[in-house]
Structures are given as structure tokens and as C-alpha cells.
Amino acid sequence: MIEGTALDPVAFWARVRPDRVALRDKSESMTYGRLEKSVSRVAESFSDEGLISGEHVSIEFDVGHGIHFAITLHALHRLGLMPVLIGARLTEPERVALRTRGQVDFALTTTPERIAEPGASFRVPPVKPAPYERRLDSPAALCFTSGTEGKPRAIVLTHGNFLWSALASGRNLGVRANDLWLACLPLHHVGGLSVLTRSSYYGTAV
């Protein structure tokens, strides 16, 4: 088990290098300062919905919503919520089955919906945790394997997994402040997700 804590990377880089580019797509470029504002706003909206630390929230965004995916992921991490990554191009029955296996409480799709038993009510949101630290052994994402030899398996990755992956990649490839990562893989796959997380630790752009 990996012990210790890490700083919230978006909050950190927004404080020390707010004008550095964090995310870019064909129509938009977002600095760390602007990303921090967006993450804070989305985290506040989740808290207002009554979502509490530990609940499972699925991200089911299509490939054209990469910046929104990144903002949502960082916002969920900030509140201690568990991102459950589900491909938007799966059929509805397939996505429902993965939500069930991932014990999803709230699904983020084009029409967000809370998954709850009849009569369930929103809970009062707790006091927000300080956004600058997170435990390395705490869950950071629930991903599903490809399922080539059977049903997809649910795999939990921790913040420590992503941090050490970033450190190993940086040692092997090197890191420069003006690096720009090209994210070709789907962001709900660990390959695409790792590009987002390691770049945020480096303070580079995707």
C-alpha cells in the first residue's frame, strides 16, 4: 500500500503558473488558472446536488467532450468522489450493466441522473475538504477492462498509481515545461486517462 499524500495538481499549478496552458482542443485552449475556476465551479455544483465523499459517479462523455471530461474528473477528485469510467458509445443496456457493477450513485451523461432506490432523498452535503491534498492510497478511478476474454472486469486505481506512473514516465521520457501531450486514446481507457493525470502532475498541456 502506498502511504502519504499528494497535492491537488490543478490547484497547485493554478497558484504557481496560472497562465500555463493545461488543455487544448481544436476550438479551445484553457490555462491552469481558468481550469481551476472551472473545476471549483463544477465541484460546487456536485456538492449542491448532495453528492458526498465516497459516492460513485460515472463519466459517460463522448470523444468530443475531452475538456469537459478533464474538468469533471478533477472536480470529482476534489470532493473525494469515485469516478467510474464508462464509454458513451456502448449501448444503453451495456452502460446500465456497468453502472450496476460499478455501484454508480450518479450518472453523468447528456442528462445527468441519480441512481437511487425509490423514495431516496438527497443528503445534506458535508463541509468541503481542503482541495490541496489527497491520500495516495485513496481510490482515484474505477475502470473496466476490455473484456476480450469474458465480461469486463472492474479495476480500481489509486491516486498513488497515477502519481507513480507519472514519475516513471517523467524519468524515462523527461519533462519540459512546454510539453504538449496528444491524447489519442479514449479518456475512459487507462491509456487516455493516464495522459490527463500525468500531465496535470507535470503542469504541462494535453
**pLDDT tens digits, one per residue of 165-200:** 999 999 999 999 999 999 999 999 999 999 999 999
**Total-model pTM:** 0.88
What was the pLDDT predicted at 87?
A: 92
**pLDDT tens digits, one per residue of 40-73:** 999 999 999 899 999 999 999 988 889 999 999 9
Residues of the chain above pLDDT 90, percent:
74
Per DSSP, the three-state class of 7 is strand
Positive or negative torsion for Cα 175, 165, 81, 61: positive
Per DSSP, the three-state class of 139 is strand
Write out the H or E segment, with its range, that includes residue 12. helix 9-16
Select the more confidently predicted residue: 107 or 151.
Answer: 107
Q: How far apart are CA 56 and CA 183, in angstroms?
A: 25
Q: How far apart are CA 8 and CA 133, in angstroms?
A: 6
